[in-house]
Structure 1
Amino acid sequence: MPNVSPFHIAIPVYNLDECRAFYRDILNCEEGRSSDHWVDFNLFGHQLVIHYKPKSETEDLHHNPVDGHDVPVPHYGVVLPWDTFRPFAEELKSKGVEFIIEPYLRFEGQVGEQATMFFLDPAGNALEFKAFKDVGQLFAK
């Protein structure tokens, strides 16, 4: 697999202070630059920016079936090292994070086998964190 550079993602939040605390205190993201309308975070070496956007009453999550679960769309997240996934999941559980899809092994024994979990931030943005024993399976068909 080629060397991967950090990505940048910006997500809308209607509750900047609550989301700031969630990413800092629950996900343990180091805070970077900020203003009264946005905050930069280090999300496992990637740049995540939460931007204030007024709440819309019409934005509902859509779901697609994957491996017997309803996967929320849209979602974002990080592919973690295999040895990081389980301790991170346990830490989230200990902090009271409610999962949309509890941590489990997806596609077990198949191409693309991966550990995965889904949960929401306080603004309702869906997050997925996953890990592969063999990261070479990331794009396997």
Structure 2
Amino acid sequence: PLREQCCGKSTKFKKIDDSIHKEHYDRMHQKLTQNEKYAKKMSRIRSKTVEPVIGTLVNFTNMKRVNTRGIKNANKHVLMASLTYNLKKYLRFIIKKTSVLAQVISLKQGKCFVFSKRAFSDFKNAIVSYSNIYNLNYN
């Protein structure tokens, strides 16, 4: 007798969906409604971590509209967008090795550096000339 009030005249049934994770949703909802400080903390964390990712996906990876048919193709679209986001993020963490090493040396250190460099080059030249003499005598 109440079907018309509940469903309306045109529909013949009313469907109520619950997720298999409903108890988790209910527990989280209860946590957020009971403790206001916890709710504010969680919303700050979410705004720093999740929402920038969603904004980037929507604005830069064509996620405003998914132009595919079927849930499988839509899942592929979302998966590819998230993959590109993660690859771009990963590329920012690759360390680039510099080909030239530059240092600032004080004047006092510079004098020691020049002296040690000269001493090292003299030592290297002595070893090279000794090995050349040794090779000539050996042959």
TM-score normalized with structure 1 length: 0.16
User: Which has a greater percent of helix?
Assistant: 2
User: Which has a greater percent of strand?
Assistant: 1
Larger Rg: 2
TM-score normalized with structure 2 length: 0.16
